[in-house]
Amino acid sequence: MTDFKNAGELLNLCNKKNLRISDVMKQRECDLGETTMEEIHSRMKKTLEIMKQSAHEPLETAVKSMGGLIGGEAQKLGDHRKQKEHICGDVLSRGISYAMAVLEVSASMGVIVAAPTAGSAGIVPGLLLSLQQQYQLTDEQVLDALFNAGAIGYLAMRNATVAGAVGGCQAEVGVASAMAASAAVELMGGGPSQSLDAASTVLVNMLGLVCDPVGGLVEYPCQNRNASGVANALVAAEIALSGIRQMIPFDEMLDTMYQVGKRMPYELRETALGGCAATPSGCAACGIHR
């Protein structure tokens, strides 16, 4: 039976059996779910199809959110990327466009993959699909990367939280970015320890991020933070792939993130009573005048 409770155990399994994180996660899913490798592969393939659709459709046709706070931003970014003046480079420019597109689909009640939540759903597909296009990677390679991301998300849900109402946005966008960073490292040829270093780096960099949705809607500033999450994940992956080690292991950063989240005042944990949601402009956008 293949299973692991924390990142330390995961890394030991990878090293002992000379496997990637994605390989261990796939075997775990087969063993615990009492199913076949073909079945879990088919399920993840469906996940990838949904990710692609939600990342691309708003680039062609702008999608207005239910709350009316966002809509059309992804298309504007996509158009801007085609101009010579764009400054982020192709991988990041494309990644943030995809990430913001997914949030438009989510906020308009379209079909998305919660990775790990609806409010952070754009980060994993944003980065992975951008890398796939930039480096002409196969769907099979991206599917493996998604199993890697799933392992990081599983660890966060088991040992901490991915809920903004519990741990702030560091638990949603932060964990999603850690998932994306780890997956990107494996996708680009890095090893298990480098993947976990990248995930830890993300949590270091996003520690303390509050959850303050304007009007209580998962629209703004959530969409912008998904784009920022792609950038953070890309930076962390590049650092890890260069061979720079992370001082603090992922397990310790995950616990630290959880503890910091529990210490946040309730106004900064998805209640829309603080942060961006409490600004005069944020209130006015929802018809509230202070």
The predicted-structure confidence for 171-191, as pLDDT tens digits, reads as follows: 999 999 999 999 999 999 999
Mean pLDDT for all residues in the chain: 96
Residue 290 has pLDDT above 70, yes or no: no
The pLDDT value given to residue 33: 84
The total of other beta-carbon atoms located within 10 Å of residue 153's CB is 23
Longest alpha-carbon distance in the chain: 61
DSSP 151-195: HHHHHHHHHS---HHHH-HHHHHHHHHHHHHHHHHHHTT--HHHH
Mean pLDDT of 260-268: 98
Q: What type of residue sits at position 260?
A: V
Residue 83 has pLDDT above 90, yes or no: no
pTM over 0.85: yes
- Extents of the domains making up the chain: 7-285
110 pLDDT band, cuts 50/70/90, is: very high
